[in-house]
Amino acid sequence: MKGKYIVKRLLQMVIVLIGISFLTFFLTYLAPGDPATAMYEAAGVTPTEEMLENTRKSMGLDKPFLVQYGVWVGKCLHGDFGESYSKNQPVLKLLIEKLPATLKLALLSLAMMLVISIPLGIYSAVKQNGITDYIIRFLSFGGISLPGFLVGLILMYVFALKLRLVKVSSSTLGFEQMLLPAVTLTIAMASKYTRQVRTAVLDELQSDYVIGARARGMKFNSVLWKHILPNAVLPLITMLGLSFGSLLGGASVVELIFSYPGMGILAVNAVKTRDYPLIQGFVLWIALIYMVVNLVVDISYSYVDPRIREAG
């Protein structure tokens, strides 16, 4: 059963990947300006008409759209995502280079988020309508309403500029340089998750089995830790997969503010310089990672959750 499920998911992934590749290729095809000019422009060169003509031919731009797409996909399958216009380097190399920094930041902020939001969420639910609950709800509500760039700038202003506690600028990727970007990402996520955990725990608290267990005289703490928590926290795994995926690609704003050398900055610069091969490669790459992560999450989920396990 399990094997079948995975095969089915993998097939779905392939279809989605084909869709995404087609979409990105089509979008860049539609984009104003011609890629040959864009290439020279990104390299800072003013080309002559003849150079353009030659480049167009060598890039295969004179061929019909579907042929161009086919050629491009074929190359991608061989790991050749093309050459970045603005950096004159293979797209794949650039993407792989930037991955570790982004990965580190994503993992650090996810870890910080979990450490904060799970205890706070539980506490807030257990002490529902108490003063702590209100404070936590108030803060988490503020957290989801704050734009990431504002949080980042405020943190930078206060901790790096006024108090001079943290150095944000360094070329080595130490914990210190990652701290403020990670905290920025954590604040928004932790707010969301705290609310999520709180709602989940509240739901469980009111479910019949908890009332039953309490009626049988089980201690509240043991009900909480043994029954409520596993049930309340499990659904978070799926959310975690999604968050992880968007952290891998979507931390552009934060990376930009702190000049953090990850994939986000690469993407922003690629879009700004109209580096089409890099944009295409980036989009595909992110989609792939995102889907793999979510597949792993779903599969692991089915191992963890007995209901799914038994249903097969």
If the CB atoms of residues 82 and 250 are measured against another protein, the closer one turns out to be: 250
Q: How far is the CB of 106 from another protein (least distance, A)?
A: 11
Q: Which of 119, 141, 256, 262 is nearest to 191 (CA)?
A: 141
Q: How far is the CB of 208 from another protein (least distance, A)?
A: 14
If the CB atoms of residues 259 and 300 are measured against another protein, the closer one turns out to be: 259
DSSP secondary structure string for all residues of 74-117: HHHHTT---B-TTT-SBHHHHHHHHHHHHHHHHHHHHHHHHHHH
If the CB atoms of residues 294 and 302 are measured against another protein, the closer one turns out to be: 294
If the CB atoms of residues 42 and 76 are measured against another protein, the closer one turns out to be: 42
Cβ neighbour number for residue 99 with a 10 Å cutoff: 15
- In Å, how far from its chain's centre is CA 139? 24
CB 272 within 8 A of CB 12: no
- Euclidean distance between CA atoms 192 and 9, whole angstroms: 28
Q: How far is the CB of 273 from another protein (least distance, A)?
A: 7
If the CB atoms of residues 252 and 302 are measured against another protein, the closer one turns out to be: 252
- Euclidean distance between CA atoms 187 and 112, whole angstroms: 9
If the CB atoms of residues 187 and 302 are measured against another protein, the closer one turns out to be: 187
CB 117 within 8 A of CB 127: no
Q: How far is the CB of 103 from another protein (least distance, A)?
A: 15
Q: How far is the CB of 130 from another protein (least distance, A)?
A: 9
Q: Which of 79, 100, 5, 96 is nearest to 295 (CA)?
A: 5
Cβ neighbour number for residue 39 with a 10 Å cutoff: 24
If the CB atoms of residues 115 and 310 are measured against another protein, the closer one turns out to be: 115
Q: How far is the CB of 180 from another protein (least distance, A)?
A: 10
Q: How far is the CB of 65 from another protein (least distance, A)?
A: 16
- Euclidean distance between CA atoms 286 and 271, whole angstroms: 15
